Amino acid sequence: MPTNNQPFDRVLDSLLMQAEQEAIQRTRNPTLRREDPYLLGLRQAQYQSILDGYRNRTDLTREEKRGLTYVRTQLRNINARLHPNLLRRIRYLRPVNWLFNWIRGRAALVDGYNNQLQDQDRRTIQEQNLQRLSDEMKKAGFKVIPEATLKRAIAQDRPYFNIPYAASDDAKTDYVLHFKKLPGTDAYYLDNFDAATKPTPQEVLRGNHIVRQNFSLIDDYALSAHEAASVIRHIPVAKNIDGQEKWLITDALGERRWVDFDLQAALNRYPIKELRDPARMQALVAALHTGSSREVTFRKNNQTHELRVQVDSWAEGLLFKDKNGNLVDADRIFQPNSNVQKVLSMAQDEAVVRELHPKRS
């Protein structure tokens, strides 16, 4: 692009715009290759438009005239690729084409424009890949985007790379994100990630082992970061598979497998206040589906208990805990304690005796 002391180069700007738009198309639709006939046809039409729009103008600068020379050479090149024959294939081989341009005194001109357009192409591809990967990360539950690290990795143009990731809202889980480039394209994608438990110093001293599992994001039933964090802690998560609710558990051998569990039926066994409100019930079910726990209120005979509920490790029932994190037997929570009842009965009997036999003064 021209500096502040140079006139605006309309031809170069048109060429850069075409290079940018073509790079956007290739990254948004990875099935399109650089030499795809469709893209070549679009480039041919755009270049012809540039030529038709400027070649008869009398106000062209020297640089714009040089730009039109470049456009003419590229139109001949594109036409040869769209309508190849043996002679054209030989004529437009890279070394042969460069030699022809050198003989005609325009090799430096062509190389200069090619370099500028390639730089524009490279910048656009990096920007598009950064946006694509950022969107994929957010969709997978990775909310904080390490833009600087992603930019550096994308600029290195490797076939694959990985980035460690620490979630701001989950200090107990470490992640490593694995990115790959689609073969034969310029487009990167988030292929899979590792999730691992991150023990506290106390847990390390106690000899607690790290649990690490890999989760694919190209599977039909891919898990989010939060769901993966639940699974490595033996907390089941649910997915709708072929119209049926299935729960992913980690068995005693550390293998993941899908099992059946009717969450709604399990919830209906208990006097949970939130089940009476459709919106709250839906929020409760959605949270349990992702492996989260949820505060609920048990209400019966004008008595209430505040508990936290989650699905048990084998997806066979529900676990309830009190505010201190202690497990609670929800089936007996409203049953009176026999020892307490005995003390209360003794107090009531004593009160009756005192009423029948008041103390004499």
Assess whether pLDDT exceeds 70 at residue 340: no
The 10s digit of each residue's pLDDT in 235-284 is 999 999 999 999 999 988 888 999 999 999 999 999 999 999 999 999 99
pLDDT of residue 127: 95
Q: Show Cβ contacts of residue 68 under 8 Å, excluding neighbours closer than 6 positions.
A: 11, 50, 51, 54, 55, 60
The 10s digit of each residue's pLDDT in 119-168 is 999 999 999 999 999 999 999 999 999 999 999 999 999 999 999 998 77
Per-residue pLDDT band for 204 (boundaries 50, 70, 90) equals confident
pLDDT of residue 230: 94
pTM of the model as a whole: 0.80
Assess whether pLDDT exceeds 80 at residue 228: yes
Assess whether pLDDT exceeds 80 at residue 66: yes
Asked whether the beta carbons of 126 and 151 are under 8 A apart, the reply is yes
Q: Which residues of 108-130 are buried (b: 16+ CB within 10 A; e: fewer)?
A: ebbeebeebbeebbbebbbbbbb
pLDDT of residue 210: 86
Assess whether pLDDT exceeds 50 at residue 343: no
- How far apart are alpha carbons 1 and 157 in whole angstroms? 25
